[in-house]
Structure 1
Amino acid sequence: MATDIHPLIDILMSVVMFAVIFNSCIGMLYPFLNRFTTPGSKSYILLLTISLGLAYILSFVGFVDLVNFVFKVVGYLGLFITFALLIRWIQNKFTKKKLI
């Protein structure tokens, strides 16, 4: 669609889309790495390399397949947490000793 306007806009839009994808990746990766390592350390560089490699490999998985898998896992995890909280609430409601 951008090519229909002008060929240079096509190139500009490609660069912008690449930058948006790169910015999103860095925006999610930095806090993840910062939580587990100290920026600039050897463990940081190792975890960065592993994370980027894993992200690159996962990028070849079909988006629909990836979303179907992730939604199922998150859904089951949500059900597990809901039942665990419900059981804890029932225990707190019917016992004299309050559990945290």
Structure 2
Amino acid sequence: GSYGAVYKARDLRTQELVAVKIISLTEGEEGYEDIRGEIEMLQQCSHPNVVRYFGSYQGEEYLWIVMEYCGGGSVADLIGITEEPLDEPQIAYICRETLK
């Protein structure tokens, strides 16, 4: 993920897998507004093709963002593991699913 490392974790209340993005706040202020924007966007978005937001927690040194765990990875992961560039039908499918 952007601006931090993402880890797989388990919600102790529900026992469901979640993704936890951990962002260092001690590495400067650049990008902080982008991070806040990402949180606001996730809070407002409810769509089957967008990762669900469960909450965020801020300490003195770190910000934790808890989101839906997507075991299949991201589109960027998919592009990174393919040996050849995606063809037009694959790109069209990804775009269509994203825009739904």
Give the TM bin, normalised by the shorter chain: under 0.3
More strand by share: 2
Relative to total residues, which structure has the larger helix share, 1 or 2?
1
Higher Cα Rg, which structure: 1
Q: TM-score, normalised by structure 2?
A: 0.27
TM-score, with structure 1 as normaliser: 0.27
